[in-house]
Amino acid sequence: MMGQQSGSQDRLFYSFDLESFVPPNHLLRGIDQCLDLGGLRQRLASHYSHTGRPSIAPELMIRMLIVGYCYGIRSERRLCEEVHLNLAYRWFCRLGLEDAIPNYSTFSKNRHGRFRQNGTFRWIFDEVVRGCMAAGLVRGEGFAIDASIVAADASGQQGIPKGEPLQWGDPTSRTHAVREYLEALDSELPGTPAPRKISISDPQSRWTGAEGGVPYYAYSTNYLIDTAHGVILDVEATPAYRTAEVESTKLMIDRVESRFNLVPDRLIADTAYGTAPMLAWMVEEKGIEPHIPLWDRSERHDGSFSRSDFQWDEAANEYRCPAGKALRCDWRQFKNPRTRITKADTILYKSRQSDCAACPMKISCCQNTPFRKIARSIHEAARDVARQVAKTQEYQQSRRERKKVEMLFAHLKRILKLDRLRLRGLSGATDEFTLAALVQNLHRMTKLLWSSHRIDAPKNYQMA
């Protein structure tokens, strides 16, 4: 017999327990167990007035933002609607059925005001990392680092080509992204390459075609992870060009050391990080073993001798060619010794022209030049360390472990939906990347520490 729904909704009183309507295996239950915001109110106390209307609890806004980044809801207006309707979101945010939801404009005011001034997102991220360390999810033996490009909230049609004069208009009408860009110009490092095109709406983003498709404005998110369980130890936002990404390595490793007292035995990265200055910094200053492919352009592919065919003699400070002749940086003594260091931080070693002219191997060595030259980096000792490490079994294992960073980036873009930024400026990118990394660490803790409760992840959710 076919039944019929009553449709009557005229009851005056309901017995309702919000706790019982959230499944015991819900992802937010596990995150709630891993998240501790106990010190947040005290940290932000100086930013709130003792008079005026009651303010929104900072814990509520942080929990709502975590829900948004966890489920790919990055529109603040939509986030308020979803928290209003979803019982699990209300439960996680400590809201009852009759509690009001904050207005979406509250997030913008606090993100650009109290939270940014106080470094709130970074503080919460560090607290979650400490929680991972306390739970034994961080070993500190091996770190891996990489960067991923994320599109900026800037149109490719609105840009000024390199060399054209920039007119930013009235200072009082400039956006915060433009003001931030102009303030950063004075502190920009010398030698920083000029961008090919500057965005009018977000000038700190970089015009990049690194992915081989249509160029666009973007930032890079840089992750430093512990290889044991893929916990993100640090995150840094940079403009999307390789030099800034590589230099952020030093900042993150130093910051992890100062905040968590962790220095890895080995660092895993791709070839872009295998430059001579970076290897020297790791080996000589930090004592870190570089599990990084060497950035080396000395190999020749035309059949002539490469630099590896020449024997280095440390005691004599010279190379020996396959014919046994010497290549030196100084063939005569000078009254005032010279370093012979070039602008590229190399020293040129040259053979005698007379030796090469009579050599039967000249065609295979320097057919088009009168003598052979070899440029040796001043950091060659550190490069030799990287060459030796690359021959070990541990290095092969590190190559496999590096994929954990790539999987985190895939999760960031495909599951958390952070493939394009909503906030502008480097500070906006920093806030978004820090929140996303914070949520990924909470996912990691939930999966590893609460699997016995059969916590279900969102649909299509997958982690390394």
Given phi > 0 = left and psi -120 to 50 = alpha, else beta, which region is 303?
A: left
pLDDT digits (tens, 9 = 90+) for 304-340: 888 888 998 888 888 999 988 899 888 877 767 777 8
Q: What is the pLDDT of residue 454?
A: 43
**Two tokens, residue 210:** 């690194």
| Euclidean distance between CA atoms 59 and 37, whole angstroms | 7
- CA–CA–CA angle 384, 387, 392 (5° rounding): 130
Q: What is the pLDDT of residue 121?
A: 92
Query: Which of 252, 261, 254, 241 minimizes the C-alpha distance to 197?
Result: 241
Which residues in the chain come in under a pLDDT of 70?
1-15, 47, 49-54, 162-163, 165-174, 176, 183, 185-193, 211, 335, 451-464
Q: What is the pLDDT of residue 457?
A: 43
